[in-house]
Amino acid sequence: MRTVDFAIGIGGAAGQGIATPGNILAHIFARRGLHLNAYNAYQSLIRGGHTFLTIRASDGPVYSMGDKLDLLIPLNQDTMDRHLKLLGPGASVLYDGDSIEVGEAAEGVQVSALPMKELSKGNKLAANTVSIAAALYKLGIDFEALESALSQIFARKGDEVVAQNVEIAHNGYEYARENFTPFTFKTPDLEKHLAVWTGNESIAMGGIAAGMKFYAAYPMSPATGVLMYLATHARNLGIMVRQVEDEIGVMNMIIGAAHTGCRAMTATSGGGLALMTEAIGMSGIMETPIVCVDVQRGGPATGLPTKTEQGDLWQILGAGQGDFPKIIVAPFGQLDLFNTMPELFNLTDKYQCPGLVLSDLLISEGTASVDPADINFDVEIDRGKMIFPNGDTENPYGGYNDNSYLRYENTSSGISPRAVPGVPGKIFTATTDEHDEDGTVISDEFTNPKIRRMMVEKRARKMMSLVDDVEAPSLVGAEDAEVTLVGWGSTRGVILEAIEQLAAEGVTANQLPIKWIIPFHTDVITEILQQCKKVIIVEINYSGQFARYLRAETGFTADGFIRKYDGEPFMPHHIAEATKDQLAGKETLSVPEHEIYV
């Protein structure tokens, strides 16, 4: 239950320093125990363009950037022109009265000009500091919180820089105290410190927790944050990190590292995944476990490099030619990304196949609060049927005669004992061609159809028990609901908030969030959906990729669809309003129009 729930929008051009005030606010809120969610809408320019950061904070859980702005801080005229008209009664705007003109604001909006040159002492770089100080006064937060944050942020630049920024911030705070009206609510201090992280950081930390020791990548937005985090901490963590010339080289290096028994991982976006797909098939036929994260963005081709989408589902389903086992998972948010990584590494080791993660820009570059107590690095590590070089198998699969080791033995489970290079006597051929149980190629002079069939079926059998190793989806919310909203991956949070809005308007809704794409809990999902009164599928792509996949796997066709493909994420009211329209019989396909404020 949320008793305080507010959102701040900071906008300007790339290069104006949007990130710094955003980070200051996020950390101040988190230190007070407030839950937060931040979304940065930016363009693919190093300097210029329109950037808009929304930070939402509450004393209860928040899962999206929400629907409203309570405080707007425009750092240029463009931001003022775009966003002022969207503020409602009770909202405020803080702006540089020396350089920005005010347009027409709605009744009840407090428009507050700051004499920026005077307060910042002519230091243009400190204008953001003045605005943040004034904002904190309006939010009822003591100046000491900002002073502490500034001291920490500018500590590396020396005491003189810290003192200058604190003085300028104090000017802004006192000016606001003397001239502006604070909000009717006071931002609470819950006396519990939360941490702040992005989804890319949680992916990297999850890999660390899983014992990942090799990471290679080619920088590609919006997955680059994983590479940056790991490169920063690699030396202290004993991890090898490599930036490679292209994604083809990346995946081959990942497979090479994994072949030696090292847990290896990469992260990319849809364009990079396209280059990796042949090598993903190589991982499948060699039965070498690897982990690859696809942080989805708008496509096709270069598409929208800095915008979000769920458009890679069918691409990742078909990653690698032919039939072979793969695991595909679409976590719901930052903490779920962290928790999923060790689980996926264990599964790929156990089933000796590639594991693919579907994230997207919304959660990978999005910032959220997290309770440090929920970040568990002491996870169970399961290496499956691994035979180790020192002879300590840690499992019952090492008792093979040295001269008769079959790396791809046709076992009843389809899972064969896996020796890494260097195990005495366990010699085999690891080839990308189809092969016999010991790795001997079967398609040089004569293709043996009997062995080919045996090996295809052997690999396929591995999937038979996999579905029992991952949690099946279940309904969230009232069982006897008027409508069930089905989403996958990052839509879980915004659907939860849409359900809250529907409940406030007398509409009972629940949600079936899907995380595991392969294996797919076909029987469980079919049984649940057949008992629902009305089913609407929510996803961020044009063609309804998950709706098609669901129909292919279960034969179930939903009653309605809500889709978005303009580059921006769903806001809760988009889903709530579309659901009401569909319940009223107005339409079966809703495509919400995004407010032009980003």
Q: Which residue did the predictor score with more confidence, 48 or 292?
A: 292
Calculate mean pLDDT across residues 216-232: 98
Q: Is 119 among the domain residues?
A: yes
d(CA 315, CA 299): 11
Residues 161 and 205 reside in one and the same domain = no
Calculate mean pLDDT across residues 177-194: 94
Q: Which domain holds residue 527?
A: 476-590
Q: Is 191 among the domain residues?
A: no
Examine the pLDDT at 397 and tell me if it is beyond 50: no
Q: How many Cα atoms are found within 13 Å in the side-chain-facing hemisphere of 541?
A: 23
In the structure, what pLDDT confidence band is assigned to residue 395 with cuts at 50, 70 and 90? very low
- Joined together, the tokens standing for residue 279 give 């090598």
Count other C-beta atoms under 10 Å from residue 283's C-beta: 29
Residues 323 and 230 reside in one and the same domain = yes
Nearest Cα to Cα of residue 330 among 477, 529, 226, 470: 470
Q: What is the pLDDT of residue 6?
A: 97
Calculate mean pLDDT across residues 452-460: 97
Longest CA span, the chain: 89
Cβ atoms of 151 and 124 closer than 8 Å: no
Q: Is 188 among the domain residues?
A: no
Q: What is the CATH number of the domain that holds 17?
A: 3.40.920.10
Backbone φ and ψ for 57, nearest 5 degrees, come out as: -135, 150
Examine the pLDDT at 596 and tell me if it is beyond 80: no
Q: CA dihedral defined by 186, 190, 195, 199, rounded to 10 degrees?
A: -60
Residues 458 and 482 reside in one and the same domain = no
Residues 429 and 341 reside in one and the same domain = no
Q: What is the CATH number of the domain that holds 355?
A: 3.40.50.970
d(CA 357, CA 344): 9
Backbone φ and ψ for 492, nearest 5 degrees, come out as: -55, -45
Q: What is the pLDDT of residue 394?
A: 47
Q: Is 187 among the domain residues?
A: no
Residue 10's DSSP bridge partners are 53, 73
Residues 18 and 146 reside in one and the same domain = yes
Calculate mean pLDDT across residues 374-381: 97
Last residue of a domain, one of 439, 470, 501: 470
> Residues for the chain: how many in total?
598
Residues 223 and 290 reside in one and the same domain = yes
- 465-521: pLDDT as tens digits: 999 999 999 999 998 999 999 999 999 999 999 999 999 999 999 999 999 999 999
Q: Tell me which H or E stretch contains 536.
A: strand 535-539
Percentage of residues of the chain with pLDDT beyond 70:
97
In the structure, what pLDDT confidence band is assigned to residue 131 with cuts at 50, 70 and 90? very high
Residues 44 and 163 reside in one and the same domain = yes
Alpha helices in 260-374 (DSSP H): 270-286, 313-317, 334-351, 361-364
Last residue of a domain, one of 311, 343, 374: 374
Q: Tell me which H or E stretch contains 12.
A: strand 5-14
Q: What is the pLDDT of residue 402?
A: 54
- 133-142: pLDDT as tens digits: 999 999 999 9
Last residue of a domain, one of 420, 444, 470: 470
Q: Is 598 among the domain residues?
A: no
Residues 87 and 121 reside in one and the same domain = yes
Q: What is the CATH number of the domain that holds 546?
A: 3.40.50.920
Mean pLDDT of the residues in the chain: 94
* Neighbour-count burial of 324, counting CB atoms closer than 10 A to its CB (0-12 exposed, 13-18 middle, 19+ buried): buried
Q: Is 516 among the domain residues?
A: yes
Examine the pLDDT at 526 and tell me if it is beyond 80: yes
Residue 485's DSSP bridge partners are 511, 536
d(CA 358, CA 329): 6
- 539-557: pLDDT as tens digits: 999 999 999 999 999 999 9
Q: What is the pLDDT of residue 481?
A: 98
- 564-573: pLDDT as tens digits: 999 999 999 9
Examine the pLDDT at 107 and tell me if it is beyond 60: yes
Residues 397 and 543 reside in one and the same domain = no
Residues 236 and 320 reside in one and the same domain = yes
Nearest Cα to Cα of residue 71 among 52, 51, 91, 98: 91
Radius of gyration of the chain from Cα atoms? Answer: 27
Examine the pLDDT at 154 and tell me if it is beyond 90: no
Residues 495 and 529 reside in one and the same domain = yes
In the structure, what pLDDT confidence band is assigned to residue 123 with cuts at 50, 70 and 90? confident
Question: What is the value of pTM for the model shown?
Answer: 0.95
Q: What is the pLDDT of residue 287?
A: 98
Q: Which residue did the predictor score with more confidence, 394 or 334?
A: 334
Residues 123 and 44 reside in one and the same domain = yes
- Joined together, the tokens standing for residue 567 give 């580059």
In the structure, what pLDDT confidence band is assigned to residue 46 with cuts at 50, 70 and 90? confident
d(CA 435, CA 432): 8
Q: Is 397 among the domain residues?
A: yes
In the structure, what pLDDT confidence band is assigned to residue 156 with cuts at 50, 70 and 90? confident
Cβ atoms of 478 and 500 closer than 8 Å: no
Q: Is 224 among the domain residues?
A: yes
In the structure, what pLDDT confidence band is assigned to residue 399 with cuts at 50, 70 and 90? very low
- 327-361: pLDDT as tens digits: 999 999 999 999 999 999 999 999 999 999 999 99
Domain count across the chain: 4
Count other C-beta atoms under 10 Å from residue 110's C-beta: 17
